[in-house]
A and B are shown apart, each in its own frame.
Chain A
């Protein structure tokens, strides 16, 4: 059974005013348990609006959202449950830190879940270890940390709630390549070790290619495609036509194909590219 399902989900801003905007237009989607889904699309394509529906921060204008088969808007109780089943980490999450110590900040979510003291402590330590937050850092004020460290603490704060679905909105924005790689690695490890479902919203095609198992492409308030990474890049032309970017390697291979070389059309990493060109060389393909 799918862990997350939307059924004809429609959302409109400022209903009944001249400024009415349809941010989501009957989106039907099913996400299987354990997937690592990358959500891509322009600013304003509806991707941020979509993820805010998954934990009930936004209420659908029409249609429904089902987490674990349960309609989250059925009652107050189901809504509250959805908040904890679906952990949502916003963009620039470091700006939501507020407690006196890093420990207390990571514990904020679990505390709101009304868990026993012992359990809270265990969860905080577990999340801290995952995100590389050291014992010393736990005692510090979150405001004394570096930018990258703060980001990890904030992510730990959501992970400590141990949600069945972890959603991160642009977790790497503003970070340098090193910081970005650290965050991506920890997201992948988290999913591999816990078997949780993870969704990341991203602008960067290279990030997507590195860690995702599925790609959800949003365009103009609708789902344009939902498929595996290679299948998504096989349709690179369509992505480019709506103004989305594809990895440089994919572009190079599109051009090679256009020039008549018999290359595969689902290549998107340097390693895959080397293998493919070597194949051409071995087979003695000539231009």
Chain B
């Protein structure tokens, strides 16, 4: 059923990657992406790619599932690759035909870019595959909590995210129910051109919005009755604690960074 599709493509499991602290995972992902862009040659990039493969293997998420995350951005990748192939004019010429000039430099840059983008996407997907949306939200909130001036804002944002996640299945249910009710009144939602179809959705969307506002209003009441008063003086039941796993993760990325810097310096030539 449609409501069983979870947002953020979480892939439940109990691997070492799953068990890592969401805060650490967030930081590692960001650091990883930064380093990817600091890689200046294939050796450095290869090292990062290798560490990513290791992480993926550790996560226990099937390779097929991981590779699926690249699919939606295939067009962007292709486009970037083509641009690089045709417009980069360094290195040896490979093909000179009328206005098309392809050089070794162009091909190298294109391949480099493809790997970079794929690594970036796979790394962030690995985060969402191994961390539930709730954990990510919590992680963001707690990561920022030491910053006093930002705390209120981040808390509000995180609370909003949590409530949105909580209500998405409810609203999908509601949408199905109202759709059925209007269909029973003869509403035709399936035929006609785009404009007609959009118009036909009004009888579904209006009640959906109104119900959502009512829900929001009632939820606000219920939250107040449970002593909600923002971030001020609020504690959490689940404590996030960095474990040995997180230390390993940290060391792992530290070595990778060091490796990348070393490789960047050792193989001076760019690409």
Contact = CB atoms under 8 A, between A and B. Distances in A.
In the complex, is A directly touching B at CB under 8 Å?
Answer: yes
A253 interface: no
B210 A143 contact: yes
Given A84-B186, A90-B177, A90-B184, A108 B207 contact: no
A157 interface: yes
A113 interface: yes
A161 B182 CA distance: 13
A158 B180 CA distance: 13
A57 B210 contact: no
Given A14-B1, A108-B203, A143-B210, A96 B178 contact: yes
B185 interface: yes
Given A84-B186, A143-B210, 6 more contacts: A55-B184, A57-B183, A83-B186, A95-B178, A112-B187, A113-B186
Interface string A85-105: 001111001011110000000
B183 A96 contact: no
A77 to B, nearest CB: 14
A204 interface: no
Interface in A11-25: 13-14
Interface string A129-154: 00000000000000100000000000
B188 interface: yes
Contact of A98 (B1, B183, B188, B203): B203
A83 B184 contact: yes
Contacts of A109: 185-186
7 contacts: A14-B1, A93-B181, A96-B182, A109-B186, A112-B186, A157-B185, A161-B185
A52 interface: yes
Interface in B181-210: 181-188, 202-203, 206-207, 210
A108 B185 contact: yes
Chain B interface size band reads 10 to 19
Contacts of A96: 178, 181-182, 185, 203, 207
A164 to B, nearest CB: 14
A98 B178 CA distance: 11
Interface of B: 1, 177-178, 180-188, 202-203, 206-207, 210-211
A87 B207 CA distance: 20
A158 B186 CA distance: 10
A97 B186 contact: no
Given A14-B1, A96-B178, A88 B207 contact: no
Nearest to B211: A95
Closest 9 CB pairs of A and B: A112-B186, A98-B206, A88-B184, A96-B181, A109-B185, A90-B181, A98-B203, A98-B207, A96-B207
Interface in A147-176: 157-158, 161
A53 to B, nearest CB: 12
Contacts of A87: 184
B185 A112 contact: yes
B169 to A, nearest CB: 16
A14 B4 CA distance: 12
A90 B179 CA distance: 11
Contacts of B181: 90, 93, 96
A59 to B, nearest CB: 13
Contact of A90 (B180, B186, B188, B211): B180
Interface in A28-56: 52, 55
Contacts of A98: 202-203, 206-207, 210
Contacts of A143: 210
A52 B180 contact: yes
Contacts of B185: 96, 108-109, 112, 157-158, 161
A14 B1 CA distance: 7
Contacts of A13: 1
Contacts of A113: 186
Contacts of A158: 184-185
Contacts of B188: 112
